[in-house]
Amino acid sequence: MCPATKKINRVIISGGGTGGHIFPAVAIANEIKQRNPTAEILFVGAKGRMEMTRVPEAGYKIVGLNISGLQRRITLENLSFPFKVFSSIRAAKKIIKDFKPDAVVGVGGYASAPVLFAGTSLKVPSLIQEQNSYAGITNKLLAKRVDKICVAYEGMESFFPASKLVLTGNPVRQDILAKEDKRAEALTYFGLPSNHKNILVIGGSLGARTINQATEASLAQMKAAGYGLIWQTGKFYHNQAQTATDNIGALNIKAFDFIRRMDLAYAAADVVISRAGALSISELCLVGKPVILVPSPNVAEDHQTKNALALVKKDAAVLVKDDEAGTELYPAAFALMADAARQKQLSANILKLAQPQAATAIVNELLNILP
């Protein structure tokens, strides 16, 4: 059957753990629904993880597996890990047999591996969506079993079979794709004056301790320079950050535990400080803002540094190492805020890397693997 005439009626999307996995998964689901409004989509996540609340908020049903990650240090929890894996594969097989999907999509996260393993064992067409520039061991192992692998970076042949690779980019939230000027709306939304330049700080959905500490230490300088601040702290740091911003007494310095209207946050920002998660980078490429990346050192295979370097090599971002953030981050940020020409150069270069049709391309590949 020609891909143009194929239709996805039932699909399972698995994975989660962070926004970097969840938002692409939801974007793929939304694209499927746009093409076939009657399609049935079932998410499979890990019990107790972020996806169990975020996915239903997006309007989709999700079921949870009792699965967690393998700890890097020796713990009692690691002793139960093999049993969780086998029980999760067994549970995933039952879910697949009951739901009878046309295809299975894995986006990364704890639940993705058992669902893809179960799906390929049952001969269900399967696809991996790899967000990062450095593939984790689980996806490398699963690559031999799945039909197609959609990636966001060039050069992924070192991790995956070249015959299965398709460069699609990372799907992002639909509101980020809205290109019209939202700055006036954004300034009103965040309660910021129109005559200030603004820094947006985003440390990922769970927060970033090093970035938060550097930001708190620089609040007085920020106030003196007259810069506005939109600061996503993460829930664990928010109380401390709120106290710090209250004490500084500047109405244009704002702290939030989580920002739901990221489209407006980007619109209000002149410079962005961010971790280098794959989703964050994909969004930053689309919005075209000058960005300083501070890769998290607490991720597998240091993949955030590799993500960041992919942009730095194209002069599309500034890199500050996590262990140097305390002394280097805000000098770099204030220098960039004062340099309009450098901002313009970084914006132009990062926009060249944008891939706004990622969700469309991934669903096209999903259709291609259907019988």
Residue 132 assigned as binding residue: yes
Residue 292 assigned as binding residue: no
Residue 18 assigned as binding residue: yes
pLDDT reading at 20 higher than 90:
no
Determine the average pLDDT of the residues in 329-346: 98
pLDDT reading at 330 higher than 60:
yes
**Band (70; pLDDT cuts 50, 70, 90):** very low
Res 302: pLDDT: 84
Residue 173 assigned as binding residue: yes
Res 83: pLDDT: 67
Q: Do the domains 175-351 and 3-170+357-369 match in fold? A: yes
Residue 304 assigned as binding residue: yes
Share the mean pLDDT of the chain.
Answer: 90
pLDDT one-digit tens code per residue, 307-328: 999 999 999 999 999 999 999 9
> Which of 155, 150, 185, 179 minimizes the C-alpha distance to 166?
150
**Band (247; pLDDT cuts 50, 70, 90):** very high
Domain assignments of the chain as residue spans, ordered by start: 3-170+357-369, 175-351
- Helix axes of 76-99 and 112-121: crossing angle, nearest 10 degrees: 50
pLDDT reading at 201 higher than 50:
yes
Residue 205 assigned as binding residue: yes
What phi and psi, each to the nearest 5 degrees, are found at residue 54? Answer: -70, -40
pLDDT reading at 175 higher than 90:
no
Within the chain, where are the H helices?
A: 19-35, 51-57, 76-99, 112-121, 137-142, 174-177, 183-190, 209-217, 219-225, 238-248, 262-268, 278-287, 303-312, 325-337, 340-351, 358-369
- CB-CB contact of 270 with 199 (8 Å): yes
Q: Classify domain 3-170+357-369 at the CATH topology level.
A: Rossmann fold (3.40.50)
**Band (71; pLDDT cuts 50, 70, 90):** very low
Residue 277 assigned as binding residue: no
Res 278: pLDDT: 86
- The residue that leads in pLDDT, 67 or 100, is 100
Q: Classify domain 175-351 at the CATH topology level.
A: Rossmann fold (3.40.50)
Res 184: pLDDT: 93
Residue 17 assigned as binding residue: no
Res 75: pLDDT: 52
pLDDT reading at 237 higher than 70:
yes
**Band (68; pLDDT cuts 50, 70, 90):** low
